[in-house]
Structure 1
Amino acid sequence: MNYTAWAAEEYATPASDASLSFLKTIGANWVAILVTEYMDTKSATEIYADKVLTPSESSLIHVVQMAHSQGLNVMLKLHVDPKDGTWRGEIFPANIEAWFENYQGRVLHYIKLAESLGVELFCLGTELRSLSGKAFREYWERLISAVREIFTGPLVYAANWDEFQTVSFWDLLDYVGIDAYFPLSYTKTPSVEELLLAWVPWISLIETWQGEVGKPVIFAEVGYRSIDYAAREPWNWTIEGSYNPQAQANCYDAVFRAFWRRPWFAGLFFWNWQTNPAAGGSGDLGYTPQNKPAQEILRKFFGGEENPSSENLKKVTPCFWGASEEGKKRGEFCPVYERREVVHWEQSFLGKAAQSEFQNAKEV
């Protein structure tokens, strides 16, 4: 789970301790602790810890130690947000060299803290889509080299769902991170079966690409609001809608079933778990699963109550038709859905590149 706070001392409160402890009781074994730094505008070069909004160093120490005391592994995850409202994927500083120099300084600040606290995984950037391509590789090489001199644990970067194929430095990291807000359905309350079908082409795309990159994949974020049409634009936190906890729960269920046994898939962090143990609940339209039906889906899968066997996966998980020979042996052909259903989905959601690849898939 992504564990989130946007106040200096929020992670160090008794409420936060209680919320983190409860997260452990539903079977979670990892937590991504979020720390957000800020820029004044998308073109600024200065990156800074806001005295009010950024978790203080003492609160980060507290929450990491608290997580470890609960038996939770920790990923420390860095975000940078412009205060002018620009999405971080559209940051484009006026002085690229100065921005990366400042960014490296902020990363190294948290890397030293992570190493001293025994943090198990560090995410050194999130959704910096405008700054992660080939033109910027040299800056990332410099940053990652400096990080490796300090941090002995593995590294990941969290690419946006439409960015992961163009990140230029995966070879320098230990994991591929994807913020997996893939569009899946236009249905108000999509069934688990519909969502599993909707995952088919995305799984094919990710698996084919992963075979070329050769790094295990983590969903550094995946999340759904408890509203109607939750799977239509999962990334969009501004959409208005009616409370629909079942849509959220079905989306959670489908993610687990679609990726549970993928040999290249290393794990996921849902967005998000809040520091208030009473967060969420009936009427809440946000992403948290707390006190909603999705929380019980987490309990079932994290706690092992719902652990689909390979045989069950053949029955309920639609897998891509273009499977490798090894994939076929793992049961990665699924005869449940007719080709016309897949084509209808494909025409609705896929880009041209993915369509071309998926049209070559074979029916079983």
Structure 2
Amino acid sequence: MKRLKSLIVLVLSLLLNSCAAQLEKINGVSFVASRDRIYEYHVKPVVQVNANYASVMPFGFLRTINSPNVIYNTERQWFGETKEGAKQYINELRKQNIKIMLKPQIWVWRGEFTGYIKMNSDDDWKILEDSYSKFILDYAQLAEELKVEIFCMGTELEAFIDNRPNYWFDLIKKVKKVYRGNITYAANWDEFKRTPFWSKLDFIGIDAYFPLSKNKTPSVKDCLEGWQNHLPEIEKKQEIFNKPILFTEFGYRSVDFSVKEPWKSDREMNQVNLEAQTNATKALFQTFWDKEWFSGGFLWKWYHNHEKAGGLNNSRFTPQNKPAEAIIKLHYSKL
């Protein structure tokens, strides 16, 4: 009888642990690279907001959208943008049990959109491919060395993918030879429908800047209704490829018309609207976080110097020291 009771307890324990594993979401923050090293006191606010993941984002640079050479790991970069910095950030975040998505990204000088990167000749395309492969495989090796949970092999590079699809399928094979963890790609909100290689990856990654409402201060209801214009297509892709959806970036500015064109970071948009950010954030959680096929996401964006970041007069994306931070903390505590 005692042995039967022990067996029942064991089975129940396994079932409960299994359910907990299924329910756990990726409650992430996009941890912004800075010029400084980070320490325990920089990570504590991440823990306090109930995040369990952080996206660490080293950078490579292109001089223009037609330049083929990816420049990275230079002395002119900020510490957090380099390989050494990414490693230091990962190790420090790990001390507080924060899991990692390593997400090396391209920045084009003057902030030109990476989705427009396109070469003018076949020779330049080949130079770009070699250069980008070196950049990505270097960080894939770091991801494997540090046993990073997720590796994101690109962010919003639609024209590059459209023009050189075979290269990308080959690059995925090369990454898998170097790195044995989960792989994704961060497609822009209007790009993910056309991304050709989801079947080869572990997550369908989306930078979730979907337009939801044209209202100056959208209500939660406005945003929930806006999501119904996009949800069917997201669900369709999930069903076709049988891959979980991961929001590789999500978030809203605390500004008027915050969900009309949520990708905009124009400095001219500076009229602070904390309610717009809060309502949009609530609606996103209500729409996605309880769906089984949704793995979670990475809040855009989170600065290391929490006490100085954001604030009630800040119109940028970060929720830090704004009412939206409490919304994040509440929802991240649930799953």
**Which amino acid is the alignment partner of residue 53 of structure 1?**
Q
Q: Which has the higher contact order (CA 8 A, sep 6+)?
A: 2
Q: Give 1:285 deviation, angstroms.
A: 0.9
Cα distance in 2 for partners of 1:124, 1:6 equals 21
Matched, 1:240 2:263: no
Aligned length in residues: 299
Matched, 1:103 2:162: no
Matched, 1:53 2:77: yes
**Which amino acid is the alignment partner of residue 172 of structure 2?**
I
Partner of 1:115: 144
Cα distance in 2 for partners of 1:118, 1:245 equals 38
Cα distance in 2 for partners of 1:6, 1:63 equals 10
- Structure 2 stretches of 5 or more lacking a match? 1-28
Contact 2:272/2:314 (CA < 8 Å) preserved in 1?
yes
Q: How does 1:237-316 map to 2 (within 5 A)?
A: 237-238=265-266, 239-278=268-307, 279-304=309-334
Q: How does 1:18-167 map to 2 (within 5 A)?
A: 18-49=41-72, 50-54=74-78, 55-94=81-120, 95-133=124-162, 135-167=163-195
Q: How does 1:170-181 map to 2 (within 5 A)?
A: 170-181=198-209
Cα distance in 2 for partners of 1:151, 1:216 equals 20
2:38 to 9, 13, 17: 13
Q: Give 1:62 deviation, angstroms.
A: 1.4
TM-score normalised according to structure 1 size: 0.79
Q: How does 1:144-223 map to 2 (within 5 A)?
A: 144-223=172-251
Cα distance in 1 for partners of 2:82, 2:235 equals 39
Q: What secondary structure is seen at the aligned counterpart in 1 of 2:228?
A: helix
- Structure 1 stretches of 5 or more lacking a match? 308-364
Q: Give 1:136 deviation, angstroms.
A: 1.9
Q: Give 1:147 deviation, angstroms.
A: 0.9
Q: What secondary structure is seen at the aligned counterpart in 2 of 1:164?
A: coil
**Which amino acid is the alignment partner of residue 86 of structure 1?**
E
Cα distance in 2 for partners of 1:20, 1:106 equals 27
Cα distance in 1 for partners of 2:164, 2:192 equals 15
Cα distance in 2 for partners of 1:67, 1:13 equals 9
Contact 1:6/1:53 (CA < 8 Å) preserved in 2?
no
Q: What secondary structure is seen at the aligned counterpart in 2 of 1:251?
A: helix
Contact 1:18/1:277 (CA < 8 Å) preserved in 2?
no
Cα distance in 1 for partners of 2:157, 2:328 equals 29
Partner of 2:257: 229
Contact 2:220/2:280 (CA < 8 Å) preserved in 1?
yes
State the identity as a percent: 34
| Residue deviations 1:160-206 (CA, integer Å, cap 9, x gap) | 01100111111111111000100011112211122111111211121
